[in-house]
Amino acid sequence: NIGFINGEYINADEAVIPIDERGHQFGDGVYEVVKIYNSLPFLLDEHLTRLKESASAIQLKLPYSLDDIKKIILEGIKRSELLNAEVYFQVTRGIAPRNHLFPNVSASFTMTIKPARKVSEQSYYKGIKTITTKDERWANCHIKSLNLLPNVLAKQKANNEESYEAILIKDGYVTEGSSTNVFVVKNNTLYTTPLTNNILSGITRKNVLKLAQKLDVEVLEKSFTTEFLISGDEAFLTSTTVEVLPIRSVNNKVILNGDPGPITKLLHESFRQLYAE
Ligand code: PMP
């Protein structure tokens, strides 16, 4: 497992983070996850743009240009010798004696490259179980920040209930999953939560919406309730890690007959074409 800390490639399993690292102590940083298919980083420019936006939203100056980060990633992929992998990189406000105020040090950039986490094939042809739970996160969920405690608690709750994902509910409406965006198909129209500070602007979400438009699927970016989700004809999750993952049930209520629907399958196939070419 390849790692990278502030200018040096290292063995990710041997890396040590100083106790006074602000990512570690405050979650004071931002991150990205990028998939590598066939040794190529997928949609890298979009991830780098989002990293820059997240960093700027927390007044964090990136220690490298986006071009340099790209070079670091490409070199890391080469060193990893992995064909299919997952790159994780994060930027924190650096290493300084613990104090809430911004320190006067440069930001830390760290990265790991590991074999990609796999979702079981069965999940794709049967669809996965989900639960709903209250969205207890902060007011700036559009920032991809390291503060993931509510997301961790929600995902664990889902797992404890034999489900794959927790769908978060704020003021009666679906925001997103603990690590995914949520889509519903009803009467051949594709619905997903609109972009506000309440959700992350998923790179997969954006590309799936683009594909839907290209394929003449009607799209509505509009908030919906749990009842609407359950009453849909199809539903799915999107993320870099899961791509397009069909939802079988929500709170043990099966959506239609539970099996992945035609628009879900079409969008997943088209999405896979984007990196298979
Ligand atoms: N929402 C949240 C809260 C996430 O953590 C993720 C995963 N990064 C997503 C949505 C999906 O985003 P993307 O498609 O860019 O991976």
Do 100 and 173 lie in one domain? The reply is: no
Give the end of a domain, one of 115, 138, 173: 115
Give residue 223's pLDDT.
98
Distance 200 CA to ligand 1 centre (A): 6
Distance 3 CA to ligand 1 centre (A): 22
Distance 191 CA to ligand 1 centre (A): 17
CATH of the domain at 40: 3.30.470.10
Among 195, 156, 254, 47, residue whose Cα is nearest residue 246: 254
Q: How many domains does the chain have?
A: 2
ipTM of the complex: 0.99
Give the end of a domain, one of 115, 150, 166: 115
The type of residue at 144 is K
Edge to edge, what strands does the sheet with 40-41 contain?
8-11, 2-5, 108-115, 85-92, 29-37, 40-41
Instruction: Establish whether 144 is a catalytic residue.
Output: yes
Buried b / exposed e along 61-84 (16+ C-beta atoms within 10 A):
ebbeeeeebbebbeebbeebebee
| 61-70 pLDDT per residue, tens | 999 999 999 9
85-92 and 108-115 beta bridge pairing: antiparallel
User: What's the CA gap between 272 and 262, in Å, rounded?
Assistant: 15
Do 164 and 246 lie in one domain? The reply is: yes
Do 142 and 219 lie in one domain? The reply is: yes
- Which structural domain range is residue 84 located in? 2-115
Do 80 and 144 lie in one domain? The reply is: no
Structure tokens at 273: 């074409």
Ligand 1, CB cutoff 6 Å, lining residues: 33, 176, 179-181, 200, 202-205, 238-240
Do 10 and 136 lie in one domain? The reply is: no
| 62-106 pLDDT per residue, tens | 999 999 999 999 999 999 999 999 999 999 999 999 999 999 999
Do 55 and 106 lie in one domain? The reply is: yes
| 109-148 pLDDT per residue, tens | 999 999 999 999 999 999 999 999 999 999 999 999 999 9
Structure tokens at 148: 């993931």
Do 78 and 196 lie in one domain? The reply is: no
Phi and psi at residue 149, to the nearest 5° = -55, -50
User: What's the CA gap between 20 and 93, in Å, rounded?
Assistant: 11
CATH of the domain at 247: 3.20.10.10
Question: Rg of the chain over CA atoms, in angstroms?
Answer: 19
Average pLDDT of 178-183? 99
Contact (Cβ atoms closer than 8 angstroms) between residue 83 and residue 18: no
Do 137 and 255 lie in one domain? The reply is: yes
User: What's the CA gap between 267 and 163, in Å, rounded?
Assistant: 23
Do 127 and 261 lie in one domain? The reply is: yes
**pLDDT band, residue 15 (cuts 50/70/90):** confident
Give the end of a domain, one of 115, 144, 174: 115
User: What's the CA gap between 9 and 46, in Å, rounded?
Assistant: 24
Contact (Cβ atoms closer than 8 angstroms) between residue 90 and residue 110: yes
For the CA atoms of 213, 143, 114, 107, what is the dihedral angle to 10 degrees? 140
User: What's the CA gap between 69 and 48, in Å, rounded?
Assistant: 8
Locate the ligand 1 atom nearest the alpha carbon of residue 178 and give its number.
Answer: 3
Do 136 and 269 lie in one domain? The reply is: yes
Residue with token string 């890690």: 241
Give residue 16's pLDDT.
86
